[in-house]
Amino acid sequence: MKPVVFITRKLPEEVVLPLQEKFTVRMWKSESESVPRDILLKEVAEADALWSVIADRIDKEVFEAAKNLKVVSNLAVGFNNIDTEAAQSKGVIVTNTPGVLTNTTADLTFALLLATARKLIEAESELRKGNWKSWTPMDYTGMDVGGATIGIIGMGRIGEAVARRAMGFDMKVLYHNRSRKIEAEKAYGFEYAELDDLLIQSDFVVILAPFTPETKGLIGQCELALMKKTSVLINVARGGIVDEEALYDALKNNQIWAAGLDVFEVEPVDPNHPLLTLPNVTVLPHIGSASIRTRIGMMNLNANAIIDVLEGREPENRLV
Ligand code: NAP
């Protein structure tokens, strides 16, 4: 009998075809809706490989339901939706898609930073509503990006790519990690800062760390209180890293100037979420890696990892 692959979202034919040539492939029918939990648990019971997306909670219950599972391949670089300890204890390999999405996500991060700083979305929507009556001296005035200080929390692959883009805008680059990146400091002049110093000094604070027990709620009331009144917070990492209630208060009380968010604690975010009532928040529906080439590249990494594991080879991008 051929090994069984279960894919939790409807994916383009071209990326699924190489799997269909070798294995029995089952795929959830919807592109936009998550697979219901009961179907996931039923399918995983028979699957040799699971191809998941970040909206799927691949927890202990899933691994316990699985009888033949050898690999979970996640369509993302972040893997906070997967209980990797449970995977390891069951001897299941987990893979992700790093690298291929670095530049695309850095582009989006910078686009969101510019859009938030210069009120692009607000200005565009006012024009469309017919509210552009005349040139005005101070309407839609924002914050300068050129020459400002950017502080990157999580200076990894994407963080560094954002920092290199910031150099093109003559920005001073501060970063905070658990470990220093001496080579990048020497090559580009990036400066390491403790978290508090970075928050105090930066005009733009950009979060690009993974979502882990350590980074959960990393930016809360105390951290936001350290930021400048004129500063902008950009989060393209994961929602849970920022305390959304504290962020709402800081924005509402003009403790910080604005925020640009691609990610939320609960996704999709409720359109009635308090943060969405604020004029100084720019929001996007988690589209960091969303270019055609990158998404197809990510999917090809997932497909290759599944083929490698099911054919007895070591896959690329193995997490556990
Ligand atoms: P990466 O190369 O692993 O970089 C993550 C960086 O975060 C590392 O340099 C790490 O350095 C630092 N870090 C880890 N824990 C930290 C902590 N407690 N405090 C401060 N820094 C910490 O990952 P990447 O490829 O750049 O991706 C980063 C994250 O972006 C992913 O985990 C994902 O959640 C998110 N992402 C979002 C989108 C989107 O669509 N919005 C797209 C792609 C990625 P140390 O180990 O030295 O601390």
Nearest CA to ligand 1 atom 36: 237
In the prediction, which pLDDT does 60 show? 98
Instruction: Report the pLDDT averaged over residues 297-313.
Output: 98
For residue 260, name the pLDDT band (cuts at 50, 70, 90).
very high
Q: For the segment 236-248, what is each residue's pLDDT rounded down to a tens digit?
A: 999 999 999 999 9
Cα angle, residue 220 at apex, residues 218 and 226 outer, rounded to 5°: 105
For residue 93, name the pLDDT band (cuts at 50, 70, 90).
very high
Non-local CB neighbours of 14 within 8 Å, separated by 6+ positions: 296
**pLDDT exceeding 70 applies to what percent of the chain?**
100
Q: For the segment 101-147, what is each residue's pLDDT rounded down to a tens digit?
A: 999 999 999 999 999 999 999 999 999 999 999 999 999 999 999 99
Q: Is 156 in the pocket of ligand 1 (CB under 6 A)?
A: yes
Which of 107, 177, 219, when mutated, tests ligand 1's pocket best, judged by the most ligand atoms within 8 Å of its CB? 177
Q: For the segment 36-85, what is each residue's pLDDT rounded down to a tens digit?
A: 999 999 999 999 999 999 999 999 999 999 999 999 999 999 999 999 99
In the prediction, which pLDDT does 192 show? 98
**pLDDT exceeding 90 applies to what percent of the chain?**
100
In the prediction, which pLDDT does 33 show? 97
Cα of 304 vs centre of ligand 1, distance in Å, is 24
Q: Is 161 in the pocket of ligand 1 (CB under 6 A)?
A: no
In the prediction, which pLDDT does 309 show? 98
Is residue 91 packed enough to be buried (19+ CB in 10 Å), middle (13-18) or exposed (0-12)? exposed
In the prediction, which pLDDT does 270 show? 98
Q: Is 154 in the pocket of ligand 1 (CB under 6 A)?
A: yes
Q: How far is CA 297 from the centre of its chain?
A: 16
Q: Sheet containing 4-7: which strands, arranged edge to edge?
A: 24-27, 4-7, 49-52, 71-74, 93-95
CB-based contact 289:60 (threshold 8 Å)? no
Nearest CA to ligand 1 atom 15: 209
Nearest CA to ligand 1 atom 33: 78
DSSP 8-state class, residue 98: -
Evaluate the CA torsion angle 249, 252, 258, 262 in order and state its sign.
positive
CA proximity to 248, closest of 175, 13, 87, 269: 269
Cα of 218 vs centre of ligand 1, distance in Å, is 13
Q: For the segment 148-194, what is each residue's pLDDT rounded down to a tens digit?
A: 999 999 999 999 999 999 999 999 999 999 999 999 999 999 999 99
Instruction: Report the pLDDT averaged over residues 273-300.
Output: 98
Nearest CA to ligand 1 atom 25: 157
Cα(144)–Cα(119) distance, integer angstroms: 11
Instruction: Report the pLDDT averaged over residues 270-283.
Output: 98
Cα of 56 vs centre of ligand 1, distance in Å, is 20
Catalytic residue among 33, 64, 85, 267: 267
What is the reported pTM? 0.98
Catalytic residue among 238, 245, 265, 313: 238
Cα(198)–Cα(205) distance, integer angstroms: 8
Active site residue 286: yes
To the nearest whole number, what is the mean pLDDT of the chain? Answer: 98
Cα of 80 vs centre of ligand 1, distance in Å, is 11
Cα(88)–Cα(109) distance, integer angstroms: 33
